[in-house]
Amino acid sequence: MIHKKTALKKTASKPSGYTTLRGMKDMFGQEGELFQYIYEAGKKIASAYGFGYIETPVLEQAQLFIRSIGKGTEVVDKEMYVFEDKDGSRVCLRPEMTASIARAYINNGMQSMPQPVKLWYFASMFRHDRPQAGRYRQFHQFSCETLGEHNPVVDAELIVVAYNMLRDLGINSMVKINSIGTLQDRENYLVELVGYLKSKRSYLSEDSKKRITKNPLRVLDSKLEQDIAVVEEAPQIIEWLSGDSKKFFMSVLEYLDEAGVPYVLTPTLVRGLDYYTDTVFELYPESEEEGSQSALVGGGRYNGLVEQLGGQATPAAGFSMGIERVMHVLKKSMSTEQQDQALKKGGVFFAQLGEQARKRSLYLLEELRRAGLLVQHNLAKSSLKAQLELANKCGSTHTLILGQKEVQDGTILIRNMESGIQEVVDQKKITNAVRKLLGE
RNA sequence: GUGGCCAUGGUGUAGUGGUAACACAGAGGUUUGUGGUACCUUUAUCACGGGUUCAAUCCCCGUUGGCCACCCCA
């Protein structure tokens, strides 16, 4: 007896040992439902605004991202999953998808499609970062990109889509927006900025001192108090925009005003990817206190990217929403009760009793499915008790009960889960009956 | 990549230098056809590796992982 028990224990504990890789996670149950819910919301709003779906490979040439995002950026230098393929080429798991979009635009001759080309996607990205709240090594972005149109209304529309999607999900957000001008504007400004930062060098943090040579724009959004003091007096990039860029930016803001999207002009907002030009923006949850990784959405214009990757000069803009971050906010704002409620499917449960009934169930369930009616069920269960418990957990309003007797009579029971009243219905009328119960 | 906190069943938590308690969840059952409100049974090599000790889940070191902040980004 004792011997048997220990033997069982050993086999039971054996299969462990395989775990998910660091920063990766399984999503199911409540999380799985929430994930799909956000996916549906994205699909709906993207379609409504005329974006077409695009799917691109997870694996791309490493060079694609190095060229577009830029050497010297954290994403490229430290966070990319790069490795050698069997043929010796350098490949990488995409850390973001804008470069893939630009590549796809060129490869597929999208410049000869009606412009602008508007695309959306909802996909996995990979960055070898240290995991943290709302940050994983494999994460998901919902994004919209508009290529082939240099018009401020495009920028505004993208922000409107991101803003409204969050609102649809029940998140009030705040838009931070800035313009970093053309590449030329930025170069001119950088000369000025670097000169200023060098003059204040001794007041800056160690990190920021390094940034002066590496990536001076980043000093602007440092969160350290000593840096903030210096940055407050720093020349602002807005002042250095060319006439066209300034005008363009003003138009974007006007459109946002018209659309009723509140925004905060943020002169210190710069972005960490090299391809951005002109408009840059980020969306934060309104309720959130200051914190760096609370940005739910990031995006902007990238007029030079397509050309840089070998295509015709093509203006473009887009945004990306971090799904895990949105989920993080949603989970915090929802009570556990609400979350449990979200798992309840409601509707109608189908229970069967006895082998004959089980066999007949497969037929009836398919008949219902073909009529477009979904009912919950668990054919593997035998006892009616167990199935009613399930029906209860699902929050079903009614349960269909098919037993030996009903199979013989060609009938089925409909039990009202609240009142306990049961009525006998002809199996032939089951579709109409269920449709009525589901209120369709 | 840097720093802080942490690591007990499926989940959330107790607890002790002599191998673990509670709640919930899961599975099965309490008359072979009735749930949401009963009862019973069952579900843990106390993250991994090493050290101290007669003895470690509990003490020490390391590893791995988690959470949080920084860097950076979504």
- A32 pLDDT above the threshold of 50: yes
Within this chain, do residues A309 and A354 fall inside the same structural domain, yes or no? Answer: no
Q: What pLDDT is recorded for position A337?
A: 59
C-alpha closest to that of A57 among A121, A139, A128, A145: A121
Q: What is residue A29's predicted lDDT score, i.e. its pLDDT?
A: 82
CA of A16 to C1' of B25 (A): 21
- Mean pLDDT of the region A135-154: 96
Token pair for A431: 């579709």
In this model, does residue A43 exceed pLDDT 60?
yes
A188 assigned to some structural domain? no
CATH of the domain at A149: 3.30.930.10
- Whether A18 is covered by a domain: the verdict is no
Q: Is the CB of A393 under 7 A from strand B?
A: yes
Determine the average pLDDT of the residues in A235-250. 94
Q: Are residues A255 and A401 in the same domain?
A: no
Q: Where are the alpha helices (DSSP H) in A263-383?
A: 305-308, 323-333, 336-343, 355-370
Amino acid A16: pLDDT: 42
A 37-96, residues with C-beta < 7 Å of strand B: 73-75, 78-79, 96
* pLDDT-derived band at A6, boundaries 50, 70, 90: very low
Indicate whether A132 and A256 sit together in one domain: yes
The whole domain housing A276 covers: 29-181+241-333
Tell me: the pLDDT tens digits for A66-119?
999 988 888 998 899 999 999 999 999 999 999 999 999 999 999 999 999 999
What pLDDT, on the 0 to 100 scale, is given for residue A304? 93
> Which bases of chain B come closer than 7 Å to a protein CB?
1-3, 26, 28-30, 32-36, 43-45, 64-74
This model of the complex carries an ipTM of 0.85
Residue A52's pLDDT is 98
Does A287 contact strand B, using a CB cutoff of 7 Å? no
Query: Could you tell me what percent of chain A has a pLDDT over 90?
Result: 62
Report the mean per-residue pLDDT for chain A.
88
**Lowest-confidence segment of A190-204, A289-303, A357-371, A403-417 by average pLDDT:** A289-303
Strand B contacts in A 213-232 (CB under 7 A): 215, 218, 221-224
Chain A span 144-203 residues with beta carbon within 7 Å of strand B: none
Predicted confidence at residue A105, as pLDDT, reads 98
The proportion of chain A whose per-residue pLDDT surpasses 70, expressed as a percent, equals 92
DSSP string, A57-116: -SEEEHHHHHHHH-TTSHHHHHS-EEEE-TTS-EEEE-S-SHHHHHHHHHHTTGGGSSSS
Domain-located, residue A14: no
Lowest mean pLDDT among A7-11, A65-69, A72-76, A397-401: A7-11
How many Å apart are A223 CA and B31 C1'?
71
**CA A97-A70-A181 angle, 5° bins:** 90
**Based on the domain organization, do A291 and A352 belong to the same domain?**
no
Q: Does A40 share its domain with A144? A: yes
* Predicted local confidence at residue A8, as pLDDT: 31
Per-residue burial over A37-53, b if 16 or more Cβ lie within 10 Å, else e, is: ebeebbeebbeebebee
Q: Are residues A290 and A412 in the same domain?
A: no
Q: Which CATH number fits the domain that encloses residue A369?
A: 3.40.50.800
Is there a domain that residue A305 lies in?
yes
Q: Are residues A312 and A373 in the same domain?
A: no
Residue A144 has pLDDT above 80, yes or no: yes
Same domain for A297 and A394, yes or no, is no
> Do residues A325 and A251 share a domain?
yes
Total of domains in chain A: 2
**A7 pLDDT tier (thresholds 50, 70, 90):** very low
Pick the last residue of a domain from A333, A354, A387.
Answer: A333
pLDDT at site A61:
96
Question: Does a structural domain hold residue A419?
Answer: yes
Separation between Cα atoms, residue A162 and residue A319, nearest integer Å: 8
